[in-house]
Amino acid sequence: MVLTKNNFNKNVLNVSRKLADQLKICKFLYTEINNSFMSKKGTYPIPKLEFKSNNDVINFFETETDSLLILSVFWHVGFSLSYIEHQEIFKKVVKYVKNNNTFYTSHISPTKDYTEDKNMKDKSLINYNITRFGNTSFVQSRKLFDNKFYSYSFSKDYIRVNANSKNEDVQNFIKNNIPFISGFSGIANLSCKVILLSGIKPKSNESIMFMESMAAFIVASGMHSYTEVYSSYNLFLNLFSKKNKYSFFININ
């Protein structure tokens, strides 16, 4: 399992340290990270953390050794950077960050075509300790999550795809019997943005290994399917491909 392999854990820690170095010299708002935690509590794997200052955030990424906690906080940093286009440190990556934001609006958000079953959502929260995710044993990863996160409802338990969706990507999921949990992953999209802010080359081995760890975290936490995560990754990596056909492990078309 990716989340328990030493080389992947080492990679997550290295990326975390690089992010800490970048955060020391840029403008960001720790309160936005806390606000993101609060707004998503109960429906996402939110860590039992609260930052009191920007220095708290920097110290977290500089010293934390739990890769799961790092992964759970990493993507929230994308909400905390203000006026990024005016920060000299990010001058070289601003256009990619902006394009990645555009991808969310044009390609990711439209795939969120589903309904929510409130009764099943409540039941999922009550039965938080159930040790299965679909047909996959969840015992090992559940042990990893114990006592580190607030209870939350698994998306796969209460979200139902709109079978009559007009969205081409959603229909592609349905027609090809591809697991649909909650559409293309916004968490993956935000994580890609933070990778850029960390000063890491998107197609480097370091970046790809980190993306694999984040994908494992997202899938194991019941937020998205493998395909949904890598579809978002593909959109991001296409920014750096002249042919605009870069495929990161998987292509659902």
Is residue 244 helix, strand or coil?
Answer: coil
Nearest to 71 by CA among 54, 87, 49, 53: 49
- Angstrom CA distances, 58 to 27, 30, 88, 190, stand at 12, 10, 19, 18
**β-bridge mates for residue 41, sequence order:** 44
Is residue 194 helix, strand or coil?
Answer: helix
Give the gyration radius of the chain's Cα atoms.
18
**Neighbouring C-beta atoms of residue 189, cutoff 10 Å:** 24
For Cα atoms 35, 37, 42, give the angle at the middle one, nearest 5 degrees.
Answer: 125
Q: Please enumerate in sequence order all residues whose Cβ is within 8 A of that of 5, keeping only pairs 6 or more positions apart, or say none.
A: none
In the chain, where the domains are located: 2-240
CB burial class (10 A; 0-12, 13-18, 19+) of residue 86?
A: exposed
What span, in angstroms and rounded, lies between the C-alpha atoms of 238 and 251?
Answer: 12
Half-sphere exposure of 23 (CA within 13 A, CB side): 26
At residue 211, the pLDDT reads 93
Q: What is the DSSP-derived secondary structure letter of residue 145? A: H
Per-residue pLDDT of the chain (253 residues; tens, 9 = 90+): 566 788 999 999 999 999 999 888 887 889 999 999 999 999 998 999 999 999 999 999 999 999 999 999 999 998 887 656 556 666 767 777 777 778 888 999 999 999 999 998 888 877 765 444 443 444 455 555 667 888 888 888 899 999 999 999 999 999 998 889 999 999 999 999 899 888 898 889 999 999 999 999 998 888 899 999 999 998 888 877 655 444 444 443 4
With beta carbons less than 8 A apart as the criterion, state whether 100 and 189 touch.
yes
> With b meaning 16 or more CB within 10 Å and e meaning fewer, what string describes 88-99?
eebeebeebbee
Q: What is the pTM of this model?
A: 0.87
What span, in angstroms and rounded, lies between the C-alpha atoms of 88 and 26?
Answer: 9
What span, in angstroms and rounded, lies between the C-alpha atoms of 146 and 141?
Answer: 9
